[in-house]
Amino acid sequence: MDVGFIGLGYMGKAIAANLLRAGHRLTVWNRSAAAAAELATQGAHQAAEPLAAASHPVLMSMLADDTATRAVLLEGGLLERAPRGQLLVNLATISVALARELSAAAHERGLIYIAAPVFGRPEVAQAGKLNVVAAGEPAALARLEPLFAAFAAKVWPLGALPERANAVKLAGNFMIASALETMGEASALVRAFGIEAGDFLGILNSTLFACPVFQNYGKLIAEQRYEPAGFTLTLGLKDVRLVQEAALGAQVPMPLAGILRDHFLESIATGKPQRDWSALAEVSLRHAGLT
Amino acid sequence: MDVGFIGLGYMGKAIAANLLRAGHRLTVWNRSAAAAAELATQGAHQAAEPLAAASHPVLMSMLADDTATRAVLLEGGLLERAPRGQLLVNLATISVALARELSAAAHERGLIYIAAPVFGRPEVAQAGKLNVVAAGEPAALARLEPLFAAFAAKVWPLGALPERANAVKLAGNFMIASALETMGEASALVRAFGIEAGDFLGILNSTLFACPVFQNYGKLIAEQRYEPAGFTLTLGLKDVRLVQEAALGAQVPMPLAGILRDHFLESIATGKPQRDWSALAEVSLRHAGLT
Amino acid sequence: MDVGFIGLGYMGKAIAANLLRAGHRLTVWNRSAAAAAELATQGAHQAAEPLAAASHPVLMSMLADDTATRAVLLEGGLLERAPRGQLLVNLATISVALARELSAAAHERGLIYIAAPVFGRPEVAQAGKLNVVAAGEPAALARLEPLFAAFAAKVWPLGALPERANAVKLAGNFMIASALETMGEASALVRAFGIEAGDFLGILNSTLFACPVFQNYGKLIAEQRYEPAGFTLTLGLKDVRLVQEAALGAQVPMPLAGILRDHFLESIATGKPQRDWSALAEVSLRHAGLT
Amino acid sequence: MDVGFIGLGYMGKAIAANLLRAGHRLTVWNRSAAAAAELATQGAHQAAEPLAAASHPVLMSMLADDTATRAVLLEGGLLERAPRGQLLVNLATISVALARELSAAAHERGLIYIAAPVFGRPEVAQAGKLNVVAAGEPAALARLEPLFAAFAAKVWPLGALPERANAVKLAGNFMIASALETMGEASALVRAFGIEAGDFLGILNSTLFACPVFQNYGKLIAEQRYEPAGFTLTLGLKDVRLVQEAALGAQVPMPLAGILRDHFLESIATGKPQRDWSALAEVSLRHAGLT
């Protein structure tokens, strides 16, 4: 299929590469041109400006956050120039509020907005094994299947309202951050009894908690290996904020999200914001005087 | 081996049955005689009083809580009458404070105290697949291997200080309770966007969270199937208290444990304490006005 | 002095009336004209549109929130039409972010921005006994003294940076909301021992806590008299959000603010958002099964 | 009246001195004899052991905590030797559980148990201006009036059940600790905007919060003057624990108490436990990277 693709960070680049590998024709754009140039060597057509990538029947977007998404898609006039009937597929983790706004703006201009945020760190994206939570017009979702197949282990359909996919993505990221906090507090407790985090997490994470989130992050926490980051503390705080905004709009109290917010904030205020978000576990150690 | 076994609740009975099945000779006692009688039909010798079960080289104990353990082992004079050199193996989830007290009392009387609490619900105990976290004198642990083999998938040694095994067991139960709270808050959030808990948890728990705790309890939460309980809200609160006591003694702040305490307390104050502790998830729904 | 005044809610109207009473000449505007008409009967000149009130050397603004303030002052073009050198005095409780934005925009256009939010409920405003926390150019503050004197018990200067006054106002409102939560939890505890909130708060609030916040709100809580509201739960939540936004920008974790947020949210999700914010105390009773 | 008095710490000594000054005859005992000797110079009779102070129609007790109270009153056999009809007046801040136990034990032996904990720091006790919250048999309370008059600004009767006075005392101490946390978080917020705690608290504590708790502790926080302590962090944690135990028994969730517990714990784990409990405010500064 002919696809425009904008936003080539770690995740976007890996997804775009998989689309190329699967034989799709891509026109790519990125704010800093280097990433686009890299994909051009893999067969992509490099657009000089976002609008040049927007003329295809499908436009995929993986921009960094709400601000970047708003700037390029809404304020950049991209939606106004896109061809009617275009499928606008947003892969990024954005707020439910912006998803609603984009969906309404797309509808008004005769475009079809699909929210399709993904679960998986960069290496999972490279392996083409992401989990995609997708919501929007069912017929459009069906047409996108060959594209999703190029980079997803599985697509999880969530109905016709796009923002539902964003709500699920945010709730999922909340669950991951909660797992980090949980391992942090539990490890601090056993540490005070002379047990290494690795020994403790080794037991739990090979039995009751034998799943990727606990195993992968458990390893980082046990080894205190927080750099280089797969996903920074700053991004962790950003996502917790999006969770809290969604929860506020939907009137859902989430006390655990409140703790996460404070601990990310403290990690950033007192430490190195560029460390991996699993460094959240350090907060519990510090509060117990164990560092 | 010749083993005394006291405390035949759901867990104790299943473990004792597995010991019998493996060919060990058991003398059993339980406060209410029916459970002991049931094991007698499987080949156990039924003791009329705890002391009658205490004369063997190994005494295993699986009493309900600190109070019962203290009453039978300490105040009941059992430690004083036990033969010198006896291995006193406590399988129950008790406080680290009581573990220390029992260990000291045992040592004073020439006994060897082993803390060996277990992870696994009753059906896991019946299948002989428990995970045992064990601490105490290494030579004694080695001698106990054939007994543990009868009911454990694996034994995780934690060094010579018995209370370390209790700290790990409590930290593990804290992690499970945190998982319940996490699923509760996340499910309430997506529910406010029209997504069923089952659909949401189905995604997470077959990918990033594909492990027993999230899968088994996720199912109960999705189906709101809280009775009959495998482990009640009341027991959940008891364990959170033990976690908090251990954390207090070790000077480890655990804010997430504070939330768990309050939500268990609210569940019990406003609902049915005999429901499964996964009913903790209802609190988040109620706070959001979603019930 | 000649003063333009826009925003005539409960607070604005009372302040404007006091300015008139003190002999100042007011040109007033309000979105719904009735309030302006009422002040016209007291001697004010009623403007047909905001711009008509903006031509005076002093413009006072007491608009409802960030949205209204942004709409009228920034998007309405008011700052562009105001005469150079005008003192733009914002009495409203707005975000520190908007205060910074307004201050910069005013500076660019040759105006002088003064942040002067006030402490006090409507009846205090009527009595001319508000506490004003004011920040901005010192010479400008000095010139405003005769105006502040008309409605303030005292003016507390906070330096040249306007947003400091907003930070103090928000921190103060946080302290009030904390007092509500504190009285709520403490009253629930003693209630469970058979002691009425009024009897308990009567002791504390006539001794250690003998001050307006505890006495006035303590009375409302003891009598569960939450309507009509002096300040609604919805406004309470709005202010806690502003506190949290300020804290986020300044990287200050505030766990107590997190509890307040969740309890306001729950009050609104499960109850009557138009009740007085002291109804926050009901949450603690409900969680304890005491309602 | 003839009064036995045991427990002569800062508070007990000041109260006993006031009783002597008012003309009552005191027989005093204290674990370390120096304090008793000091009172002997003021006219008290110094008893060599607690039992020697227990033969009077009134016995007042101001022991440090549950452990000391239990040791002297219950395990020391004092209740068994006291004359029938004796009024046993416990001025200490103890748990509601121990108050119930003491009350039952006293009743069984024909004594009348009165719970009469006090509000006020040592200097208030010296000035004879304590607030006494008293519960127990009404006729007995009436007989005690002349004694209370010697050291109390006011006596607040709370009915016939002694533990009610303890619940009120604990709820009051919770309110004070909440005030400390509130001032700590609010001060950290404004500090991040360049405003000194003293300037901020000076405004609030001379207006809406113009009462002893905020004024006295606000001064200590503004000046970071945490030594010598009037009431240590360790004692603060002890009281929060008693609050939480009472709340647990009465099934009252208190999330704010959870925060207090964690912050006291952190203060003690990472700092100097002997500092005044108003040093709780340092935790908020540290979490924001402001120390």
The three-state DSSP-derived secondary structure of A214-264 is HHHHHHHHHHCCCCCCCCEHHHHHHHHHHHHHHHHHCCCCCHHHHHHHHHH
Percent of chain D with pLDDT over 70: 100
Give the pLDDT score at B145: 97
Contact flag C214-D212 (C-beta cutoff 8 Å): no
Min Cα distance C232 → chain B (Å) is 19
The whole-angstrom separation of Cα D26 and Cα D37 is 12
| Nearest-Cα residue of chain B relative to residue C283 | B287
Residues of A in contact with C262 (CB under 8 A): 253-255, 258
Cα–Cα distances in angstroms (integers) from residue B26 to residues B42, B57, B63, B106, in the given order: 10, 11, 16, 22
Chains near B with 3+ CB pairs less than 8 A apart are A, C, D
Q: Write the residue in A255, A269, A286 that is nearest to D288 by C-beta.
A: A269
Each residue's pLDDT tens digit in chain C (291 positions)? 899 999 999 999 999 999 999 999 999 999 999 999 999 999 999 999 999 999 999 999 999 999 999 999 999 889 989 999 999 999 999 999 999 999 999 999 999 999 999 999 889 999 999 999 999 999 999 999 999 999 999 999 999 999 999 999 999 999 999 999 999 999 999 999 999 999 999 999 999 999 999 999 999 999 999 999 999 999 999 999 999 999 999 999 999 999 999 999 999 999 899 999 999 999 999 999 998
The verdict on B289 touching C (C-beta cutoff 8 Å) is yes
Statement: residue A289 has pLDDT above 90? yes
The verdict on C206 touching B (C-beta cutoff 8 Å) is no
Give the pLDDT score at D76: 87
First vs last C-alpha separation in chain D: 54
DSSP string, D100-163: HHHHHHHHHTT-EEEE--EES-HHHHHTT-EEEEEBS-HHHHHHHHHHHHTTEEEEEE--S-HH
The amino acid occupying position D190 is V
Cα–Cα distances in angstroms (integers) from residue D36 to residues C99, D15, D43, in the given order: 62, 13, 11
Average pLDDT over residues B95-107: 98
Residues C214/C179, Cβ–Cβ less than 8 Å: yes
Contacts of B96 (CB under 8 A, 6+ apart): A193, B163, B166, B167, B170, B242, B245, B246, B249
Statement: residue B130 has pLDDT above 90? yes
Give the pLDDT score at B220: 98
H-helix or E-strand spanning residue A118: strand A118-119
Q: Which B positions 131-150 lie with beta carbon below 8 A of chain A?
A: 131, 133
Statement: residue A49 has pLDDT above 90? yes
The beta strands (E) that lie in C85-238 are given as 87-90, 112-115, 118-119, 130-134, 152-157
When the pLDDT of each residue in chain B is averaged and rounded to a whole number, the result is 97
- What's the DSSP call for residue B70? I
Residues of C in contact with B255 (CB under 8 A): 255
Give the pLDDT score at A271: 87
The whole-angstrom separation of Cα B278 and Cα B180 is 6
Contact flag C178-D175 (C-beta cutoff 8 Å): no
pLDDT tens readout for residues A220-274: 999 999 999 999 999 999 999 999 999 999 999 999 999 999 999 999 999 899 9
List helix spans (H) across chain B.
10-21, 33-40, 66-69, 78-81, 96-108, 122-126, 138-149, 162-191, 197-204, 212-223, 233-249, 255-270, 281-287
The whole-angstrom separation of Cα A250 and Cα D84 is 64
Give the pLDDT score at B170: 98
Residues of A in contact with C254 (CB under 8 A): 262
Average pLDDT over residues B173-179: 98
Residues D277/D232, Cβ–Cβ less than 8 Å: yes
Residues of A in contact with D288 (CB under 8 A): 266, 269-270
Contact flag D255-B262 (C-beta cutoff 8 Å): yes
Neighbour-count burial of A85, counting CB atoms closer than 10 A to its CB (0-12 exposed, 13-18 middle, 19+ buried) = exposed
The verdict on C196 touching A (C-beta cutoff 8 Å) is no
| Nearest-Cα residue of chain D relative to residue A291 | D270
Contact flag C253-D288 (C-beta cutoff 8 Å): yes
Min Cα distance D131 → chain C (Å) is 8
The verdict on C289 touching B (C-beta cutoff 8 Å) is yes
Statement: residue A127 has pLDDT above 90? yes
Each residue's pLDDT tens digit in chain D (291 positions)? 999 999 999 999 999 999 999 999 999 999 999 999 999 999 999 999 999 999 999 999 999 999 999 999 999 889 989 999 999 999 999 999 999 999 999 999 999 999 999 999 889 999 999 999 999 999 999 999 999 999 999 999 999 999 999 999 999 999 999 999 999 999 999 999 999 999 999 999 999 999 999 999 999 999 999 999 999 999 999 999 999 999 999 999 999 999 999 999 999 999 899 999 999 999 999 999 998
- Cα–Cα–Cα angle for B175, B180, B186, rounded to 5 degrees: 120
Q: Hey, what are C97's tokens?
A: 């972010």
Q: Count Cα neighbours of B242 within 13 Å in the Cβ-side half-sphere.
A: 28
Active-site residue among B13, B129, B154, B169? B169
Q: Write the residue in C270, C287, C289 that is nearest to B289 by C-beta.
A: C270
The verdict on A259 touching B (C-beta cutoff 8 Å) is yes
Nearest CA-CA partner of B258 in A254, D259, D170: D259
A23 conformational bin, left if phi > 0, alpha if psi -120 to 50, beta if neither: left
Residues of B in contact with C289 (CB under 8 A): 266, 269-270
Min Cα distance B149 → chain A (Å) is 17
Active-site residue among A169, A219, A238, A272? A169
Contact flag A258-C254 (C-beta cutoff 8 Å): no
Percent of chain B with pLDDT over 90: 96
The whole-angstrom separation of Cα B286 and Cα B290 is 6
The amino acid occupying position B45 is H
Q: Write the residue in A255, A266, A288 that is nearest to D287 by C-beta.
A: A266
Give the pLDDT score at B234: 97
The whole-angstrom separation of Cα D281 and Cα D221 is 7
Residues of D in contact with C118 (CB under 8 A): none
Statement: residue B76 has pLDDT above 90? no
